[in-house]
């Protein structure tokens, strides 16, 4: 009884290994045909990414009020009229969509040739903003030194009250 169970386990292992070997040889013999992107289209897309990733353009897109319009105008000047595009810019830190430009409308779109690129560009903007704040300067000249004196029963000097009055 025991030998019979061992033989069935060995037969099952041999059958599984044959199935795996056949699958491996059949899948490696099938040639997968893939079509390369057109080099001109790929070059246009790569060039567009480099221009968008430039510091001035990225600053215009990210910091501007109408970022999608700025991105659309930039893409329209860079690409020929017959090229369709869909460009989306996301922030890696927040996941927020910063800009989107597309001239593809409708649900289904079939292209003769297409290319797809992804890139990561670093854009840093100042955390501290410089602002000009108008200030008033009050000059108090105390020749007698009486402004240091305190009024009896008061904890502050006369100079303290003069400073508060100036504010």
**Residue pLDDT, tens place only, 70-126:** 888 888 888 887 777 888 888 777 888 878 888 877 656 666 666 777 777 776 666
Tell me what pLDDT residue 106 has.
Answer: 65
Tell me what pLDDT residue 20 has.
Answer: 85
pTM value? 0.46
Name the pairing type of β-strands 86-90 and 97-102. Answer: antiparallel
Q: What are phi and psi of 88, to 5 degrees?
A: -130, 135
Tell me what pLDDT residue 35 has.
Answer: 47
Q: How many other C-beta atoms are found inside a 10 Å radius of the C-beta of residue 28?
A: 8
Which residue do the tokens 């090229």 mark? Answer: 83
71, exposed or middle or buried, with CB in 10 Å at 0-12, 13-18, 19+? buried
Q: Which two tokens stand for residue 160?
A: 């303290």
Q: What CA–CA distance (Å, rounded) separates 147 from 126?
A: 44
């Amino acid at each position: 009884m025991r030998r019979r169970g061992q033989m069935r386990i060995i037969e099952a292992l041999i059958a599984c290994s044959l199935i795996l070997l056949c699958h491996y040889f059949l899948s490696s013999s099938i040639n997968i045909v893939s079509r390369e992107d057109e080099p001109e289209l790929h070059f246009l897309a790569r060039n567009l990414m480099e221009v968008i990733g430039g510091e001035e353009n990225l600053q215009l897109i990210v910091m501007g009020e109408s970022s999608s319009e700025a991105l659309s105008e930039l893409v329209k000047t860079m690409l020929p009229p017959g090229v369709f595009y869909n460009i989306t810019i996301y922030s890696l830190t927040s996941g927020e969509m910063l800009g989107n430009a597309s001239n593809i409308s409708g649900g289904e779109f079939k292209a003769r040739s297409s290319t797809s690129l992804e890139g990561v560009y670093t854009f840093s903007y100042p955390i501290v903003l410089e602002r000009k704040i108008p200030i008033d300067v009050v000059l108090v000249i105390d020749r007698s030194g009486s402004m240091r004196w305190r009024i009896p029963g008061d904890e502050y000097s006369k100079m303290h009250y003069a400073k508060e009055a100036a504010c």
